[in-house]
Amino acid sequence: MAKRRISALILIAVAAVVGYFVYQTELVKMVPGETASSTPVASVSNYAFKLGLDLNGGTHLVYRADTSKVLESDINSAMTALRDVIERRVNMFGVSEPLVQVEEGGVLGSGREERLIVELPGVTDVKDAVAMIGQTPLLEFKLANEFPGLSEEELQQKTIDEVFSPTGLTGQYLKRATLTFDPNTGEPQVTIDFNSEGKKMFGDITRDNIGRVVAIFLDGVPISTPVIREVILEGTAQISGNFKIDEARTLVRNLNYGALPMPISLVSTETIGPSLGTAAVNAGLKAGLWSFVIIAIFLIVWYRLPGLLASIALLIYVILNLAIFKLIPVTLTAAGIAGFVLSLGMAVDANILIFERMKEELKMGRTLEDAMKEGFARAWLSIRDSNLSSIITATILYFFATTNIIKGFALVFGIGVLTSMFTAITASRTLLLAMRLKDSKLSRFLFTSGIR
């Protein structure tokens, strides 16, 4: 019995330490500025809760991708590359927990439309948000439709699409860009290296089109129009366009941050202010607090002493969940908070199964200690099966969901179910077995349930 009580005390002590960690890491501290005379600035812990756009405020951008010049079979891979490029670009600005995802849309009868959804928590200035993405260049390689010899007048009378044809080689296949200098003239130029797929494509282009012009376009403007003199299989090309050294450096930087595989255009913007996010957080906290209080009152009134201990175990469950959200970390959204509140009910469900089984064992004439042991042992199979079905559902929702809202709900709910299995079997059992009561009418009253 002493060992059980020590285990119960250790469990409560650990929960208290973890609870202090959860509380302490949410405090905003003031730290000195860069200079002795500067005003102290607010500092937030690295383990503070990560809030999604709907809770933290921010900007929601929707872009339309121009896939008219991309083969239908390549659209999915091109959109994936576009998402990765924009994500790298946004991460460069230090935005906390940005969301960049691809979405297929379009109005009925208008055909397929590829969209890019960008959510930037904490960025409430739309101009700043658009600038983060709009500065990313579109790099394309195009072949001249005719061999060199076109006059200037002929070029001016034709459009770019009439003079040049796309090769399919874009910034999607760029590996890296570096600043180099022409060994003969000393002029700055940009050397680009392609990845393995781009290397093969560039080799095929140079092998099949010797003597033709392959123009390098940046954001629709030709910046270099070299003539293919030989086959280039190393996957390296030089961009020279009478650059100034600062211009070349800027181009290298932008290309390394990610050149878009296709043009994009902004179709809608939405800004969620910090006040709306704060209101959503407060509403979620209020819902969670009231849920806990009502559940605890029900447990104590209906199940008496086991209900009180189950309420303590439920508090441990809440603390562990919040700590897990901080350590993973999980980006909390309104849907995620709803999933967490729902998981509170799942956590109580396991305790109710145990208590009802204990009551049946007591009716069969078992002692209190035997009834507790048998109650946990016999209820475990039902708890395991019901929780496994919930975990399977949460897993399917997470991996097959098409929106981040559903993914957030599924993740938080799944974590909650897993934690509830631990607290119901470990925390509740440890606390109950630590209670040393004589087998009397009073103790049996405390361990039964209902109004009788």
CATH number for the domain that contains residue 188: 3.30.1360.200
User: Among 154-158, 182-186, 343-347, where is mean pLDDT lowest?
Assistant: 154-158
DSSP 214: E
Identity of the amino acid at 181? F
**Ranges assigned E (strand) in 225-348:** 236-239, 264-272, 331-332
Q: Apex CA 380: angle with CA 377 and CA 384, to 5°?
A: 160
Tokens found for residue 19:
């609870």
Q: Are 2 and 10 in contact (CB under 8 A)?
A: no
Which alpha helices (DSSP H) does 166-226 contain, by range? 196-208
What per-residue confidence (pLDDT) applies to 109? 47
Q: Quick one: 210 and 281 in the same domain?
A: no
Cα 257 to Cα 176: distance, rounded to the nearest angstrom: 9
Tokens found for residue 295:
């559940």
pLDDT at 385 over 50: yes
Cα 161 to Cα 154: distance, rounded to the nearest angstrom: 14
Q: Are 120 and 59 in contact (CB under 8 A)?
A: yes
Q: Quick one: 175 and 314 in the same domain?
A: no
pLDDT at 201 over 60: yes
Q: Quick one: 163 and 256 in the same domain?
A: yes
Last residue of a domain, one of 272, 293, 310: 272
Q: Quick one: 408 and 380 in the same domain?
A: yes
Cα 256 to Cα 157: distance, rounded to the nearest angstrom: 35
Cα 378 to Cα 427: distance, rounded to the nearest angstrom: 17
In sequence order, which residues have a C-beta less than 8 Å from that of residue 250 and are 6 or more positions away?
A: none
What per-residue confidence (pLDDT) applies to 276? 66
Q: How many domains does the chain have?
A: 2
Of 85, 226, 82, whose CA–CA distance to 144 is shortest? 226
pLDDT category, 87, cuts 50, 70, 90?
confident
Residue 50: inside a domain: no
Say which residue, 10 or 240, is predicted with more confidence.
Answer: 10
Domain limits for position 411: 2-29+273-447
DSSP 426: I
Q: Are 277 and 119 in contact (CB under 8 A)?
A: no
Q: Are 417 and 394 in contact (CB under 8 A)?
A: yes
Q: Quick one: 305 and 400 in the same domain?
A: yes
Residue 358: inside a domain: yes
pLDDT, the chain, mean? 81
Q: Quick one: 343 and 224 in the same domain?
A: no
Residue 58 backbone zone (phi > 0: left; psi -120 to 50: alpha; other: beta): left
Last residue of a domain, one of 244, 272, 300: 272
What per-residue confidence (pLDDT) applies to 402? 67
Q: Quick one: 263 and 409 in the same domain?
A: no
Q: Quick one: 252 and 290 in the same domain?
A: no
Q: Apex CA 360: angle with CA 356 and CA 364, to 5°?
A: 165
Say which residue, 380 or 93, is predicted with more confidence.
Answer: 380
Tokens found for residue 271:
């800004």
DSSP 118: E
Q: Are 137 and 259 in contact (CB under 8 A)?
A: yes
Interhelix angle 274-327/334-363, rounded to 10 degrees, is 50
* 415-426: average pLDDT: 86
pLDDT at 393 over 80: yes
Tokens found for residue 388:
């496994």
Tokens found for residue 45:
């812990």
Cα 289 to Cα 372: distance, rounded to the nearest angstrom: 30
pLDDT category, 323, cuts 50, 70, 90?
very high
Residue 86's H or E segment, with its range, is helix 75-92
Q: Quick one: 268 and 417 in the same domain?
A: no
What per-residue confidence (pLDDT) applies to 439? 66
**This prediction's pTM:** 0.64
Of 337, 261, 310, whose CA–CA distance to 77 is shortest? 261
- The end-to-end CA distance of the chain, in Å, is 30
pLDDT category, 247, cuts 50, 70, 90?
confident
Q: Quick one: 226 and 171 in the same domain?
A: yes
pLDDT at 111 over 60: no
Tokens found for residue 415:
């974590």
Q: Quick one: 220 and 113 in the same domain?
A: yes
- 3-class SS of residue 159: coil
Q: Quick one: 231 and 311 in the same domain?
A: no
Last residue of a domain, one of 240, 272, 304: 272
Q: Apex CA 43: angle with CA 408 and CA 45, to 5°?
A: 45
pLDDT category, 143, cuts 50, 70, 90?
very high
pLDDT at 114 over 50: yes
Task: Find where tokens 């109950």 sit.
Answer: 432
DSSP 425: I
User: Among 94-108, 186-200, 231-245, where is mean pLDDT lowest?
Assistant: 94-108
Say which residue, 195 or 104, is predicted with more confidence.
Answer: 195
- Per-residue CA distances from 223 to 38, 52, 183, 257, 265 (Å): 46, 41, 20, 19, 22
